[in-house]
Amino acid sequence: MNQKSIKLAILFCLTGFTAMKAYSQTEPINIVTTAVPFLRISPDARAGGMGEVGIASTADVNSPFWNLAKTPFNESKGAIGLTYTPWLKNLGLNDVYLATMSGYYKISDEEAISGSMRYFNLGNIQFTDNMGNDFGSFRPREFSIDLGYSRKLSDKIGLGIALRYIYSNLAGGQNVNGTTYQAGNSVAGDLSFYYNGTNESGTGFSAGATLTNLGTKIGYTTDATQKDFIPANLGLGAAYTKAFDEDNKITFGMDFNKLMVPTPPAVGDSAGLAEYRSIPVVKSWFTSFTDAPGGFSEELQEWTISTGIEYWYQNQFALRTGYFYEDKTKGNRKYFTVGAGLKYNVFGLNFSYIIPSGSGVNQNPLSNTLRFSLIFDLGGGDGSGGVGVKD
């Protein structure tokens, strides 16, 4: 498969136009698909180095991406973070990337406002028909913009709420099989909870829960019956931090995530697909926990698990590792990650790396993925999550 074919395959998978269902020799593969899946890509290098753990880890500038309720617990008054992720380079794609930006400002010790943006560029794609006739080229792109507010209810509990605008332009007015595709738009919201049980020395247990991307369906044509679900998600996380002394501390974290999206029908089931797309959005959030054809056991398979470890020395040097697990019938993403962090004065730098796994056609396409995050501390503080160093 050449690079253009790979890009086109990715493009049509990203639109969410088709259900993905196949059978292995032993059990069905039934992947829950959505539109705008770039919203599920780990957006920062710190969490990326911890196996995509971010719901209950200590607060940092990228908290709005993972759990907005953590934001008021930042030591710093404010910060800005930038992350760049070359995407699917293992498939030979050199112009596909995700860029993100996030920031927050604490109005008081109890309140914070935040904003973030994700921009996903799929590079340049040359469109042709089945005879090879050139229809021109286009650069598919997607982005989301968030605004959030979070508040402490006590010294240990925080809540957050965010609004999100989503834009997805994948085909740029191209006509495919008689259908003209246009840019899609959607709006969504997040609700988040955070419990910070760490003591003054930094030792203790923390937990979080999030409901993200609760919003409208998105469509790429004028046909209202052809709209697709966006990746509404339930996330649960827990972490434990042990501070050995003033210089050394370690955090163990674990996240569980499940898409609140109905399980799709089999490929070729046009009646089932029409019924699937007709499910109201709010109803879909609840039915997604009980609609798997395989019953409760298959519902459990739809949860992904992230585990991660982070070690800090003098709140200036960090080492991280983690593991991400997805059931083989729901996508089969399984990989180890490593990462590191460095803070100097008001600057912070994080990077993460996905360790190659599998071989040949079974090699993980995310292998060798690197993320780079740059952080600017605007207010001072120990910022053990990755922002600044206390003077």
Query: pLDDT under 50 in the chain at which residues?
Result: 1-25, 382-391
Outline where DSSP puts E strands in the chain: 20-23, 28-31, 78-86, 97-106, 111-121, 125-128, 134-138, 141-152, 157-169, 175-176, 179-180, 184-196, 204-215, 233-243, 248-259, 303-313, 317-325, 334-344, 347-354, 370-377
Q: Is the pTM of this model over 0.75?
A: yes
Q: How far apart are CA 228 and CA 267, in angstroms?
A: 15
pLDDT in the model for residue 1: 40
Sign of CA dihedral 377, 310, 164, 193: negative
Q: How far apart are CA 214 and CA 235, in angstroms?
A: 13
Q: Which fold has domain 3-377?
A: Porin (2.40.160)
pLDDT in the model for residue 374: 96
Q: How far is CA 324 from the centre of its chain?
A: 13
Which secondary-structure segment (H or E) carries 276?
Answer: helix 270-277
pLDDT in the model for residue 14: 45
Greatest alpha-carbon span in the chain? 68
Sign of CA dihedral 211, 102, 59, 237: positive
How do residues 296-354 score in pLDDT, each as one tens digit? 999 999 999 999 999 999 999 999 999 999 999 998 889 999 999 999 889 999 999 99
pLDDT in the model for residue 390: 37
